Amino acid sequence: MPGLSIIIASADGERFYAGLETAAAAAALGRPARIFLQGAAAALLRTPVSFDGDAARSAAGQPDLVSLIAEAMAMDVRLVVCQSGMALVHMTASELVPQVRTGGLVSFLSEAGPDDQLIAY
């Protein structure tokens, strides 16, 4: 089954949340899914994780960002953070959510299968 590769190209919590939902849905359907946080988006995985939409999501009975990250990772959604992006936002690997990999865009794309779908948020 073709995989799903998602690139989060901005430090926008709503877009990251949508990407996580999409990846989790693909994983629920048995498709391999992974997300690459490019550039300043790397900061979205700096602990402690949160975003401005957390209160509204929680009030609506939806998971906050940190809970959705945990759910997606439990479903084997792989999260990869751009090493250059980490430098851009003055971040070190020790500040990342556990089990998140660091890497570059070239390696992320090289791991995509020929039939994989690519979405950018």
- Residue pLDDT, tens place only, 34-51: 999 999 999 999 999 999
Model confidence over 72-111: pLDDT tens digits? 999 999 999 999 999 999 999 999 999 999 999 999 999 9
For 4-120, which CATH superfamily applies? DsrEFH-like (3.40.1260.10)
Q: Hey, where are the domains in the chain?
A: 4-120
What gap in Å lies between CA 58 and CA 60, rounded to an integer?
5
58-65: long-range contacts (C-beta < 8 A, 24 or more apart)?
Answer: 65/13, 65/16, 65/17, 65/20
3-state helix, strand, coil in the chain (%, to 5): 45, 20, 35
Read off the pLDDT of each residue in 60-64 and give the average, rounded to a whole number.
96
Contact call for residues 31 and 1 (beta carbons, < 8 A) = yes
Residue 67, pLDDT score: 96
